[in-house]
Amino acid sequence: MGPKQVKDSTQEFEKAHALEAGRKYVLRLYVTGTTPRSVRAITNIRKICDEHLKGDYDLEVIDIYQQPVLAKGEQIIAAPTMLKKLPLPLRRFIGDMSNTEQILLGLDLRAKKK
């Protein structure tokens, strides 16, 4: 298990370094099978990404029923949950991703209203 963690950390670092110049978003969406809420979350986040990130993103959808170890490693306690891994800071979004303004604010694509 030790070498795998080092390899994963190295890969994450290299990915972050390579993507920093282009400000590419690395997103992970954790879902629970094909439940209506999971399907809605996938549809909503893909729509947001296509409209606002225009290809500058890498979205990985992870079914926690199929890969529970990944969910445990990221300390996912509710689903659907999306993690914004890059650009930093790391952010978590929980729910069906239907609140577009909240998602855009969390992705730093909208300024906070004062």
Q: Is the pTM of this model over 0.85?
A: no
Three-state SS for 64-78 is CCCCHHHHHHCCCCC
The gap between the terminal CA atoms of the chain, to the nearest Å, is: 47
CA distances from 45 to 22, 74, 112 (A): 20, 19, 20
pLDDT given at position 32: 96
Question: 24-104: what CATH class?
Answer: alpha beta
pLDDT given at position 10: 55
Beta-bridge partner residues of 83: 28, 92
Residues of the chain with pLDDT below 50 are 1-7, 13-14, 16-21
Neighbouring CB atoms inside 10 A of 14's CB total 10
pLDDT given at position 12: 58
